[in-house]
Each structure stands twice: as structure tokens, then as C-alpha cells.
């Protein structure tokens, strides 16, 4: 079990001198390097305070009573810390201070806000948010949740613990433990940044952990097939049915110009006949613009090939499209020459 470092020090604030010339006494609580301060509602003459010891000077009655009170505060803080640890609750400087002062800790947590955001998105699915967007926020939530468990060994964190260092460590975690490439990590960080902005806009957070932090996406050279490569792929047959299925979906994208998500959501109701030609008439998911695409013979052959596929019959989809993640993983894992 990790050992918790804990100190309580007392000091005076000369800059907040009272009208009678006395200076207020404050307590500084430090837990694992994180500290917070609060006033003790006690004051003393500045020349009667021993700065190095953090106690009142002398043996007068007032000095003895004040020092006795300071000892009581320190011992009570220690007892409060032990109670938090025994109950299994997180022990931080601010939580310890609030517990000692009897302040109910009703502050929101980062995952709580993230869940509320995702639930609202799900309620607006089909109007303001697409299924793909909702899935990305779910994945982002899972990454943040797993990072908190990995780094802090806790289930959630209060908002005041979301610091610039948290953001930096989260980015490092995504790129190392989760093996995310730069652009993927940036997208997850931007999703998380939206949750932080919600907290800031509602006044639940005082400081922005993303301040002075900017992210950029690396330029990606889009690869494409030339005519010979397309012809080779068209007539290549894979032994593994799932890889063959992924290949056919990719070819359909090539012959229609549709994006992956548009092929995945393509239904027979999106196909119509005009004269001697067969056309796809569909609203693109990303741009929301209508497209009219003539179906070339190779694309029609792919439609006919899967017309009796169980998945297509059940969902009325034109092609049995796996998820984007599964398609990529299957192709990367199974495209070795010895498996063709």
C-alpha cells in the first residue's frame, strides 16, 4: 500500500492584518504534495508569533491556550485522516480540510459529468448527434475511466484534481498504454476537453487544465489504388470469409465513392431505377447532402452476391458491413500471405 505523506503547519498572514493590529492564524494541510489552507478564526500580535515553530511565543496564559488549541487542531486533523483511510475514501488535502470543517463535499466529479454528457447525447441521437459520434464519446469515457484506475487507483476524481499534469499524463497514457497514434490521441483529448469546458461554463471548475495547450493533427498521406492494383484486388479471393467480406465492402466504396459509414447504412430503399440505369439516392451522413450515384456493374455484382446474406436479410442492409474497428483489426491481423 502506498504511504501517504501528511503535514499540518500553522502560520500568520501579515497581509491580512485586522483593524486592531492583530494578524490571523492559518493552517496549511499538505497531503502527498498537494496543499490547501484555511483560517482558524484565531489571531495574535505579530511579534508574539514564532514563525519557525508555528506556535505562539512565551508561557503566558493566552499563549498556552492558543498553543493548546493548535495542538488540538493538528490531532483532530490526524484523526480525520485516519477515518477517511479506514472508510476507503480518497484522502486529499481539500477533502481532508472539508471533512475537518464539516463542509459537505457535494462537488461534481469528472466521470459524473462525462456520463451526464453522454446520456444527453444518446437522448439526441438522430437529431443532433450520430451513432458514430456517440460511440466516440463512449470510447473517450472508457479511456478516461481506465486512466484514472491505472494512474490513481481510484474510480473517479473530483474536478479540482483535473490539472494540466493530469492532461499531460492522460496524453502519455493514450500513446503508450493504449497504443494510440498521435491523431487518435488528439481526438480523444478533444472529446475530454469538451467535458472540461462544460464544467468551466457551469462554474464547477475554476481553472482550465487545457490553458495554453494546443493540439494539432498530423498530415496523413492518403493512399489510393491505381487501376492495376484495383483490378488485382477485384479478382483476389481470400480463404477467410470475414476478410473476403471486408474486401468486398472496400471495393464497393471504390466503385461508388461512398464513405464507409454511408455504405454501412445503405438500404435497399436508397436504390432506385431510372430508365435503364440503377442509382443510389442517399443523404450523406457527414455533409447531410443528397447524392445521386449510378451503380456500375462491379458494384451491382457485389449487391447481388450478398442479397441472400443472413445479416442483409435481417437488417435490410445492402452489404454486411463490419464495424470500422473490426474491419481494420481483421485485415491487419489476417492479411499475411500464408493465410490467403
What pLDDT is attached to residue 333? 47
Encode pLDDT of 173-208 as tens digits: 999 999 999 999 999 999 999 999 999 888 788 789
pLDDT in tens, 16-62: 888 888 999 999 999 988 889 999 999 999 999 999 999 999 999 99
Q: Please tell me the predicted confidence (pLDDT) of residue 334.
A: 44
Give pairs for 162-171: CB < 8 Å, separation 24+: 162/110, 162/196, 162/199, 162/205, 162/209, 163/209, 164/209, 164/210, 164/211, 164/213, 166/209, 167/192, 167/209, 167/210, 167/213, 170/143, 170/144
Residues 6+ positions from 205 with CB-CB distance below 8 Å: 159, 160, 162, 196, 199
Residue that has been written with the C-alpha cell 470500422 in this structure: 324
Distance between CA atoms of 214 and 231, rounded to whole angstroms? 43
Q: How far apart are CA 148 and CA 154, in angstroms?
A: 6
- Whole-structure pTM value: 0.54
Which of 170, 145, 173 shows the shortest CA–CA distance to 157?
145
Strands 277-283 and 55-56: unpaired
71: cell is 495542538
Residues 6+ apart with CB under 8 A from 138: 118
Query: How many other CB atoms are found less than 10 A from the CB of residue 231?
Result: 11
Residue written as grid cell 461534481: 108
Rounded Cα distance, 159 and 111, in Å: 9
Structural domains present in the chain: 6-101 (no CATH), 110-201 (1.10.150), 227-339 (3.90.15)
Amino acid at each position: 500500500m502506498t504511504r501517504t505523506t501528511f503535514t499540518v503547519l500553522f502560520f500568520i498572514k501579515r497581509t491580512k492584518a485586522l483593524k486592531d493590529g492583530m494578524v490571523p492564524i492559518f493552517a496549511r494541510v499538505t497531503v502527498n504534495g498537494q496543499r490547501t489552507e484555511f483560517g482558524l478564526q484565531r489571531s495574535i500580535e505579530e511579534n508574539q508569533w514564532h514563525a519557525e515553530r508555528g506556535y505562539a511565543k512565551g508561557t503566558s496564559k493566552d499563549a498556552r491556550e492558543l498553543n493548546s488549541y493548535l495542538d488540538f487542531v493538528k490531532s483532530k486533523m490526524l484523526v480525520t485522516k485516519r477515518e477517511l483511510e479506514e472508510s476507503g475514501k480518497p484522502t486529499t488535502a481539500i477533502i481532508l480540510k472539508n471533512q475537518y470543517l464539516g463542509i459537505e463535499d457535494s462537488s461534481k466529479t469528472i466521470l459524473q459529468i462525462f456520463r451526464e454528457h453522454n446520456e444527453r447525447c444518446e437522448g439526441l441521437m438522430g437529431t443532433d448527434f450520430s451513432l458514430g459520434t456517440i460511440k466516440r464519446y463512449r470510447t473517450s469515457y472508457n479511456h478516461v475511466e481506465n486512466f484514472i484506475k491505472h494512474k490513481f487507483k481510484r474510480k473517479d476524481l473530483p474536478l479540482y484534481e483535473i490539472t494540466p499534469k493530469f492532461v499531460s499524463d492522460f496524453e502519455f497514457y493514450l500513446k503508450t498504454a493504449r497504443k494510440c497514434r498521435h491523431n487518435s490521441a488528439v481526438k480523444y483529448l478533444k472529446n475530454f476537453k469538451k467535458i472540461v469546458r462544460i464544467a468551466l461554463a457551469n462554474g464547477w471548475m475554476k481553472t482550465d487544465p487545457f490553458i495554453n495547450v494546443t493540439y494539432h493533427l498530423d498530415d496523413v498521406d492518403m493512399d489510393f489504388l491505381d487501376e492495376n492494383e484495383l483490378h488485382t484486388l477485384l479478382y483476389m479471393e481470400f480463404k477467410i470469409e470475414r476478410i473476403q467480406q471486408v474486401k468486398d465492402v472496400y471495393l464497393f466504396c471504390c466503385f461508388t465513392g461512398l464513405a464507409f459509414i454511408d455504405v454501412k447504412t445503405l438500404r435497399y430503399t436508397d436504390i432506385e431505377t431510372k430508365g435503364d440505369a440503377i442509382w443510389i439516392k442517399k443523404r450523406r451522413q457527414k455533409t447531410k447532402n443528397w447524392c445521386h450515384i449510378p451503380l456500375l456493374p462491379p458494384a451491382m455484382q457485389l449487391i447481388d452476391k450478398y442479397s441472400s446474406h443472413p445479416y442483409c436479410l435481417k437488417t435490410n442492409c445492402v452489404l454486411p458491413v463490419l464495424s470500422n474497428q473490426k474491419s481494420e483489426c481483421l485485415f491487419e491481423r489476417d492479411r499475411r500471405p500464408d493465410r490467403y
